[in-house]
Amino acid sequence: MSYLALARKWRPGFFSDVAGQDHVVRALLNALESDRVHHAFLFAGTRGVGKTTIARILSKALNCEAPNGGEPCGKCSPCVSIDQGRFVDLLEVDAASRTKVDQTRELLENVQYTPTSGRYKIYLIDEVHMLSASSFNALLKTLEEPPPHVKFLLATTDPQKLPVTVLSRCLQFNLKRLPTALITERMAYICEQEKIEAEVAALGRLARAANGSMRDGLSLLDQALVFGGGKLNDADVAEMLGSMDPRHLTEIMQAVIAGDAAGLMQQARQLQELVPDYAAVLDDLAILLQQIAVMQLAGEGALDEDADVALVAGLGAQIDGETVQLLYQIAITGSRDLALAPDPRIGFEMTLLRMLAFRPAAEVGGAASGGEGARQAGLGAGSMQLASGGQVKHAGPVNWDELLKSLALKGMTLQLARNCAVAEQTDTTLVLELSQSGKHLLTDSQKGLLTEALRRQLGEAVTVRFIIAAGDIDCEAARDKQAVLEQQADAEGEIRNDPAINRIIEAFDARVVDGSVKPSGSPTRH
């Protein structure tokens, strides 16, 4: 007896079954109901979000003998034939395996002939971006002047690779990545219908691993059912995915909170025996920290329903919000950098040790200016002055100027920095205030370059934010500008008070041309 995978068995057959793509479904139903159906559609989105599924439903709706408000009936001969994959007027092609122009021409050579059994002849081309340039040219000729009985349904994960000439002839629909909560809800419904025992936490873990793809989520659900012998519990799913048992996660967090390096390494060694996916473990740690932050700031009611409220509340009572934010940043940065480590285990252990090394100054016994606490807080020795309680005093012009010299910035990035002043600073955050006259310098690229340079100097855990001042501020650029104005005023004063110049003015009825007085020197800082 053959088994039908859940992703195939529960594939939507009607527009009403499609989850999370209401903006696309609504537009298609309106077009079908008003009989204003374009000749070419492009469905774009990441894998498993419903591109080809929606295209097949649209194929049924276009050829259905008894549609209802745009929905296919699902019972007539065309609907049944399309569901069974034997409708001769639906030509479904994987462009990745038919990239050559000859294959495209062969596909389109019968386009002028009317449908055999349906109302429309439909070309459904998946991964259309894989076609060659010559193939696109062959397709374009038909897209420009298609016969009235032909519809093109194109699907792609990378619409930017399509020629503009093709894009301009299609109605484009961008399908969204599906929220974790929606995938969880759909899998819970399927488990209920299939009479499968499933823990909510296990479904949530699978949904997060699906990463926005319903198809991937259902495939993982199939895999988990095989792994768990027909049942779904969180411990089995965690083991299958290489993620961490909640007990291990709790013990690691307790060791981090206690500053117990030996205990932390012992937990890492025990975890090594399970041969885990260390990136997934760090992701789980980041999720737990996010839940703690939500609990602390928004309360228990704001947590996801799969969260362990007692665990999150217990850990949240032992750690302050600032430290939670820092640990979260270290966890996601460590996950990203695992590929750069000599070995994933080493990268994982270094990430855990970094959580102990980079602690707010109040937790490591306070700090003086440029002392050990400043280094442990990731702010760079001597770069800023720490006050008691882990807060950083407002950095005056001398402190910020000295930091800029060490950054070795150039061009527009230097000008952006010179138009900034430190507005606020904690152990993990640096807020820079930008003058009104320099706000045009705050482009995404320049902001990224300055942020990167500051993190290299102050530590990767530091978050840099920019705010625009209501007016001008006391920054290096403003001081230079003021110095230039003062120098200009002094030069003009000297001219006005020079006896020789005044005698010339009187003798020749002359005047000093406005703007012609130039100071002999100008202030320079960098």
Give the number of other CB atoms < 10 A from CB of residue 54. 24
- The type of residue at 338 is L
- The type of residue at 472 is D
Predicted model pTM: 0.57
Distance CA 449, CA 452 (A): 5
Quick check: is 519 in a domain? no
Looking at the structure, tell me whether residues 185 and 168 fall in a common domain: no
Range list of H helices, 74-132: 77-83, 101-108
Q: What is the pLDDT of residue 499?
A: 83
- The type of residue at 302 is A
Distance CA 32, CA 15 (A): 12
Distance CA 501, CA 24 (A): 78
Tokens matching residue 452: 């990167």
User: Which of helix, strand or coil describes residue 142?
Assistant: helix
Looking at the structure, tell me whether residues 377 and 459 fall in a common domain: yes
Report the run of H or E that residue 92 belongs to, with start and end. Answer: strand 90-94
Looking at the structure, tell me whether residues 162 and 36 fall in a common domain: yes
Residue where the block lists tokens 């699902």: 74
Quick check: is 518 in a domain? no
Q: Which of 312, 328, 357 is the last residue of a domain?
A: 357
Q: Which of 190, 212, 241 is the last residue of a domain?
A: 241
Question: Which residues form the domain of 63?
Answer: 6-174
Q: Contact 377/329 with Cβ under 8 angstroms? A: no
Residue 406, sorted as left (phi over 0), alpha (psi -120 to 50) or beta, turns out to be alpha
Give the number of other CB atoms < 10 A from CB of residue 344. 15
Distance CA 352, CA 248 (A): 13
Quick check: is 121 in a domain? yes
Looking at the structure, tell me whether residues 194 and 52 fall in a common domain: no
Distance CA 317, CA 382 (A): 33
The per-residue pLDDT string of the chain (526 residues; one tens digit each, 9 = 90 and over) reads 567 889 899 999 999 999 999 999 999 999 999 989 999 999 999 989 999 999 999 999 999 999 998 999 999 999 999 999 899 999 888 887 766 777 778 778 778 888 888 899 999 999 999 888 888 888 888 888 888 999 999 999 999 899 999 999 999 999 999 988 899 999 999 999 999 999 998 998 899 888 889 999 999 999 999 998 888 988 888 878 866 667 788 889 988 988 888 889 988 888 887 767 888 889 889 999 999 999 888 888 888 766 778 888 888 888 888 889 999 999 999 998 998 999 999 999 999 999 988 765 544 443 333 333 333 333 333 333 333 333 333 333 338 878 888 888 887 888 888 888 888 888 778 888 888 888 888 887 788 888 888 888 888 778 888 888 877 788 888 888 888 888 888 877 887 888 888 887 777 777 777 666 666 654 444 4
Q: Contact 180/208 with Cβ under 8 angstroms? A: yes
Report in angstroms the alpha-carbon separations of 59 from 104, 193, 524: 21, 28, 70
What is the distance in angstroms between the CA of the first residue and the CA of the last residue of the chain? 78
Q: What is the pLDDT of residue 275?
A: 67
Distance CA 469, CA 463 (A): 19
Distance CA 115, CA 108 (A): 13
Looking at the structure, tell me whether residues 20 and 139 fall in a common domain: yes
Q: What is the pLDDT of residue 391?
A: 34
Quick check: is 161 in a domain? yes
Report the run of H or E that residue 171 belongs to, with start and end. Answer: strand 171-174
Task: Read off φ and ψ for residue 174, nearest 5 degrees.
Answer: -100, 115
Looking at the structure, tell me whether residues 152 and 10 fall in a common domain: yes
Cα dihedral across residues 248, 253, 254, 260: positive or negative:
positive
Strand partners, 463: 429
Alpha carbon dihedral 106, 110, 112, 115, in 10-degree steps, equals -140
Report the run of H or E that residue 123 belongs to, with start and end. Answer: strand 121-126
Distance CA 259, CA 271 (A): 19
Quick check: is 524 in a domain? no
Quick check: is 96 in a domain? yes
333-368 residue pLDDT tens: 999 899 899 999 999 999 999 998 876 554 444 333
Looking at the structure, tell me whether residues 151 and 219 fall in a common domain: no
Number of folded domains that form the chain:
4
Q: Cα 407 from chain centroid? A: 28
Alpha carbon dihedral 30, 34, 40, 45, in 10-degree steps, equals 0
Quick check: is 208 in a domain? yes
Strand partners, 126: 94
Cα angle vertex 158, ends 155, 161, to 5°?
A: 105
Q: Contact 222/194 with Cβ under 8 angstroms? A: no
Query: Strands 429-434, 420-425: parallel, antiparallel or unpaired by DSSP?
Result: antiparallel
Give the number of other CB atoms < 10 A from CB of residue 500. 7
Looking at the structure, tell me whether residues 163 and 42 fall in a common domain: yes
Quick check: is 504 in a domain? no
Distance CA 274, CA 1 (A): 35
Looking at the structure, tell me whether residues 51 and 142 fall in a common domain: yes
Residue 51's CATH number: 3.40.50.300
Looking at the structure, tell me whether residues 145 and 194 fall in a common domain: no
Looking at the structure, tell me whether residues 339 and 271 fall in a common domain: yes
Strand partners, 125: 93, 154
Q: Which of 332, 357, 382 is the last residue of a domain?
A: 357
User: Which of helix, strand or coil describes residue 218?
Assistant: helix
Looking at the structure, tell me whether residues 151 and 20 fall in a common domain: yes
Residue 226's CATH number: 1.10.8.60
Residue 258's CATH number: 1.20.272.10
